[in-house]
Amino acid sequence: MRKRIYEIISASNSRDKLSSIYDIFMMAVIVISLVPLVFKQSFEAFGIADKICAGIFIIDYILRWATADYKFQKHSTTAFLRYPFSAMAIIDLISVLPSLTVLNQGFKLLRLLRLFRALRVFRAFKLFRYSKNVRIIINIFKRQKGPLSYVLILAVGYIVISALIIFNVEPDSFNSFFDAIYWATVSLTTMGYGDIYPVTEIGRIVTMVSSLFGIAIVALPAGIITAGYMDELKNIAETKDKE
């Protein structure tokens, strides 16, 4: 019985219709629970819907905890102790906590209510579990984490070096080294907000060179992710052919 529950609530495959229905149902519940965040006003219907969604999330959390040994493929108590500390379990818990405060009259301070309201955004991350497209992207990042890590190191090095150069070439335009870091980051992404910019000729030359290198660095992860996405689609197609 527990194994069948795990098969239903876990990532679905094309052959398990009940699991696919459960995924669609949970995605709908998540979207409904996020609707109140679009409005500044609070309506009674939103409160009722939030309690219902919270109840569904709690049941889902309990079911996943109860079948944690199948998830980690370890039929022992360590699997049940490990589950609450997994990434998705933490997101599940955080997404439920704001709704539980509705039942506790002690949480009436305005700042706390705003904080708990903001925490509901974490429910959007629950979609990662049920969306096949999102799971594909996550798999791409896992498989390409090596090349992406190298690009990240290159980008951080670029930002620090550019910030050091511009901060010493044109100190009057930057009040602190953090401003130089901010400028270098904006230059890396080629966004150019225009709130901080060099005014001397040397500073502008540094900016032009920095922007050119920034375009090259930003293009690297796009190529890596695209190649990984094509490989993932190829693997999925091969798996379907074997079935």
Query: 229: burial class by Cβ within 10 Å (0-12, 13-18, 19+)?
Result: middle
Please check whether residues 91 and 150 belong to one and the same domain: no
140 lies in a domain? Answer: no
Domain residues for 77?
2-130
pLDDT in tens, 125-174: 776 666 666 677 777 777 888 888 888 888 888 888 888 888 888 888 88
Please check whether residues 93 and 207 belong to one and the same domain: no
Q: For residue 206, how many other CB atoms are within 10 A of its CB?
A: 19
Please check whether residues 185 and 124 belong to one and the same domain: no
Q: For residue 228, how many other CB atoms are within 10 A of its CB?
A: 20
pTM for this structure? 0.56
Task: For residue 92, give the nearest of 52, 63, 133, 135 by alpha carbon.
Answer: 63
Dist CA 130 CA 8 (whole Å): 11
Instruction: Lowest mean pLDDT of 120-124, 148-152, 153-157, 188-192, name the range.
Output: 120-124
Dist CA 53 CA 203 (whole Å): 55
Q: For residue 69, how many other CB atoms are within 10 A of its CB?
A: 19
Please check whether residues 9 and 36 belong to one and the same domain: yes
Please check whether residues 117 and 188 belong to one and the same domain: no
Q: At a CB cut-off of 8 Å and minimum separation 6, what does 89 contact?
A: 61, 64, 65, 83
Dist CA 230 CA 189 (whole Å): 25
Given 96, 130, 164, the domain boundary residue is 130
51 lies in a domain? Answer: yes
- Give 242 or 191, the one with higher predicted confidence: 191
Domain count, the chain: 2
Dihedral-angle region of residue 242 (phi above 0 means left; psi in -120 to 50 means alpha; beta otherwise): alpha
Please check whether residues 56 and 167 belong to one and the same domain: no
pLDDT at 105 over 60: no
Rounded to a whole number of angstroms, the distance between the first and last alpha carbons of the chain is 26
Letter for the amino acid at 191?
M
